[in-house]
Amino acid sequence: MTYQHITVKPLAGAIGAEILGIDLSKDIASEAMDEIRRAFLENLVVVFRDQDLTPDSQKAFSRHFGSSHINDFFPTVDGHPDVQLVAKNPEDTRNVGDVWHTDVSYVRKPPLGSMLYALEVPDAGGDTMFASMYNAYETLSDGMKELLEPLNAVHSATQSFGVRATGPEMRAKNKSMAFKYSEDAEQIAVHPVVRVHPETCRKALYVNRSFTKHLEGMTVEESAPLLNYLYDHMARPENTCRVRWEKGTLTFWDNRCAHHYALNDYQGQRRVMHRVTVLDDRRDNTTLTENAA
């Protein structure tokens, strides 16, 4: 199907596209919004350039897809508890998100997607890689698919946002990594390894290095060989695209079927982003029941 109200320019074969001809700070006609939703579902990651957004206008656009997730771990923009501040300062050596992952898989009902808006970017570097979990699943052998279908995985944010990860020692090392502790970090969520997308009904791998701890019914050691194989397979170049940030770029990705990796190749420079995480308001059930439907 062609687009009548927007221009869609693919970034790579498996995932990603730029959307041209839309000012996200203004009201968007329903016909154009329908096409943006379709482009989002078809491409998993959509990029809008040259946008001039406030926290309010970023949230207004996000509400076309769902309500905002309140993240207790990240610092937030003053007056906007649902807009996370994702920043790396020149003196910091680490950044946020420098491992392949999907956001907030540690809750029982994971979010729909994330919108990241660039306010300050380095002269070079600081790109974000994205990977299609549709492609990752579909390129597995039939035998591997059969093995994975009945498996569930245990997810938690304890190591990333628990007491040990947010203590004084961590805060002293890097201001940009000084996450706030929350009891939410201690919760456990169980999700299918192969998750059925609630809108497209396509199958996607749903495990990630940041928050997947082990396969249900197995130890960490027993799970590691299979999970590590899947992590390496997910990151194969043919599954990926790369977004080069510019000031005023907003990128929106589907957490249900895409992974991302924030490159840390801009030491001594500042990078500042505003992130809004969008909830999947239309889904009342948890992912454990999705594959049984």
* CA distances in angstroms from 81 to 74, 101, 188, 234, 264, listed in the order given: 10, 23, 24, 33, 26
Amino acid 184: pLDDT = 60
Within-domain flag for 23? yes
Amino acid 293: pLDDT = 30
Residue 260 among the catalytic residues:
yes
Catalytic residue among 197, 214, 260, 271: 260
Catalytic residue among 256, 271, 275, 280: 275
Within-domain flag for 1? no
Question: Which letter, b or e, does each residue of 2-22 get, where b requires 16 or more Cβ atoms within 10 Å of its Cβ?
Answer: eeeebebeebbebbbbbbeeb
**pLDDT tens sequence across 5-39:** 999 999 999 999 999 999 999 999 999 999 999 99
If one counts the domains in the chain, the total is 1
Residue 94 among the catalytic residues:
no
**Domain harbouring 265, CATH code:** 3.60.130.10
Shortest CA distance to 283 belongs to which of 198, 202, 206?
A: 198
Catalytic residue among 103, 155, 195, 259: 103
Identify residue 31 by its one-letter amino acid code. Answer: E
Residue 283 among the catalytic residues:
no
DSSP reduced 3-state for 83: strand
Within-domain flag for 108? yes
DSSP reduced 3-state for 186: helix
Amino acid 158: pLDDT = 79
Amino acid 162: pLDDT = 47
Within-domain flag for 165? yes
Within-domain flag for 28? yes
Residue 23 among the catalytic residues:
no
Other Cβ atoms closer than 10 A to 27: 9
Amino acid 53: pLDDT = 98
Within-domain flag for 11? yes
Amino acid 234: pLDDT = 98
Which of the residues in the chain have pLDDT under 50?
Answer: 162-168, 170-174, 177-178, 284-286, 288-293
Catalytic residue among 69, 101, 256, 274: 101
Q: Which domain holds residue 137?
A: 7-290
Within-domain flag for 88? yes
DSSP reduced 3-state for 272: strand
Amino acid 73: pLDDT = 75
Within-domain flag for 30? yes
